[in-house]
Structure 1
Amino acid sequence: MKKINFIVNLFLIFSLSSCGIFKDPKNYASDWNAQRLFKEAKAAQDVGDYKSAIKYYDMLQARYPFETYAQQAQLNTIYSYYKFGEPESAIISANHFIKLYPRHKKIDYVYYLKGLINFQLNQGSLERFLPLDRSQRDQRAAVRAFDAFAELIKRFPNSKYNPDAKQRMIYLRNMLAQYELHVAKFYMTRQAYVAAINRAKTIVESYQGTPTVADALAVLAKAYKVLGLNKLSNDAIQVLKLNYPNHKGIAEVQRVVVK
């Protein structure tokens, strides 16, 4: 009886193998045409299986680079990489798409995605667990996001993505100004007053209209006073008093005693 069961089980194994269950995963879609590959990729993308979506899109582009589906596959690959948590690959794919299809009807979407991907990179993964001040982080991703959104608006003034891009640019501009302020204050604590002045001047000159300008003026007034540049210090404090009469930095500068 045991011998019969063994033979039956062995027969079932070989039967399943011949049906394709144990086929090499590299070959199981080898006979799919471009339409089938795109359909499977899109279905995987729609349910959040971005790993499979990327795999099918890559197959499609490798086998059928000149098919109608290939361009859309490249476009969808950018989004899938972004959602799959591979921002660097998404950005590379976006740049490649822009280079190949600069006049594509959805090229504004690609620029928007570039901005969005870098925007998310700037947020960081730790923010979900720790109350970190994003403005104290390395701001290279924020600059890239700002530049991508700015290019989108410049190239495609009527794009439907512009309203969101503009709001994100306002946020990024405020944060970049705050970053400069953090650096300026750091230099102040190290008594590197010239470096602090340069950072504060960057805020006043390049980030007009941001809430950080008031603090930058206070840093300027204080640093100038410490260095004995009284006229420049007075000029900065007068601007601060004129525009922000209740700012706490006014009293702080007045308390500075130069030895």
Structure 2
Amino acid sequence: MSVRHIMRGTIVAAGLAVAGVLGGCQNDPDIDITALSYEIDPADVLYNQALANIEAGKLKEASRKFEAIDKQHPYSEYARKAMVMNSYVNYKMGRYSESINAARRYIGLYPNSEDTAYAYFLIGLSYNKQIPQVTRDQKTALRSIQAFRELIERFPDSEYVPEAEEKIRFARDQLAGKEMQIGRYYMERKEYAAAINRFKGVVEVYPNTPQVEEALARLVEVYFTMGLVENAQEAAAVLGHNFPDSQWYADSYKLLQTEGLEPRENKGSWLARVGTLVVGSDDDS
């Protein structure tokens, strides 16, 4: 991820300002590479020092400089830039809550600035980095999607949109995986109605995720087990239409054959309505 559009025009000056001290302090993480006191430094000097610290990999010190600008020179142009840059630095350090808070504050104060899209992007990235395995709660996946969607809706021409869309797909895949995990749990406990609701949700809400193939096969299995053979045939027909060469379809077809049945479409069912969305869908809503 690049922040060159924010740092452009100042990093060269910063590099010249600290060239004399970089050599002696570069390898010590606890020593500031800039020597001037926060209390006497003007905003531009602090900002350039912060950028130099980023270049030197001293992110904690860079964050301190950006915070000093915010405190000592509030509402200045440097304070505006320092706020979003501090969000970036905190993100790079893995301080995701701090990054999110700084970006949200920036959006609240500067909702239409040139860097607002980047602030949304940082919020989405910070939540995205915290998405756990599907066995755990996926609320960060939802929050990641929300931030990226706000970015896309408000700034559709932003350079960050392609990566935001990619991250949304990942988060949706996680949410679908969580639904599948819960559905399988209900299946094992023979709570079939609850399992159907989960698998149905994957097909309806997340039709373009990899989990939809298994979700359709599980619907075939659960419907068949409950004696709802027509529903099982419908689910198998949608599965076969979209994934004719998959093992999931082969297993579903074999299951129906145990009772002399075959997949059969029902154009009036909910499965028929969503069936055409399963393959090649670009809808991330």
CA contact (8 A) 2:221 2:252 kept: no
The 2-side partners of 1:253 and 1:109 are apart by 51
Greater helix percent: which structure? 1
Corresponding position of 1:218 = 217
The 2-side partners of 1:255 and 1:89 are apart by 57
The 2-side partners of 1:62 and 1:176 are apart by 40
Change (3 A) 1:182 1:256: farther
Change (3 A) 1:35 1:135: same
SS of the residue 1:66 aligns to: coil
Q: Deviation digits for residues 159-199 of structure 1, max 9, x if unmatched?
A: 11111212222233233222221221121112121111111
Letter aligned with residue 209 of structure 1:
N
Letter aligned with residue 233 of structure 1:
A
Shift in Å, 1:136? 3.5
Unaligned runs of 5+ in 1: 1-26, 125-133
Q: Deviation digits for residues 53-110 of structure 1, max 9, x if unmatched?
A: 1111111111110322110110111001111121011111111111111011111111
SS of the residue 1:136 aligns to: coil
Q: Please give the root-mean-square deviation of Cα atoms over the aligned residues, in Å.
A: 2.1
The 1-side partners of 2:180 and 2:128 are apart by 20
The 1-side partners of 2:220 and 2:101 are apart by 45
- Structure 1 or 2, whichever has the larger Rg, is 1
Matched, 1:144 2:153: no
CA contact (8 A) 2:90 2:98 kept: yes
CA contact (8 A) 1:241 1:250 kept: no
Matched, 1:250 2:252: yes
Number of equivalent positions:
221
CA contact (8 A) 1:108 1:159 kept: yes
Corresponding position of 1:40 = 49
Match of 1:105 among 114, 120, 136: 114
The 2-side partners of 1:175 and 1:256 are apart by 34
SS of the residue 1:204 aligns to: helix
Corresponding position of 1:86 = 95
Corresponding position of 2:167 = 168
Corresponding position of 1:17 = none
Corresponding position of 1:240 = 239
Map 1:1-259 onto structure 2 (within 5 A). Answer: 28-122=37-131, 134-246=133-245, 247-251=249-253, 253-254=255-256
Q: Deviation digits for residues 11-47 of structure 1, max 9, x if unmatched?
A: xxxxxxxxxxxxxxxx943222222222222211222
Letter aligned with residue 79 of structure 2:
A
CA contact (8 A) 2:233 2:256 kept: no
Unaligned runs of 5+ in 2: 1-35, 260-285
* Percent of aligned pairs sharing the same letter: 34
SS of the residue 2:130 aligns to: helix
CA contact (8 A) 2:236 2:253 kept: no
Shift in Å, 1:255? 8.0
Give the TM-score, by structure 1 length. 0.78
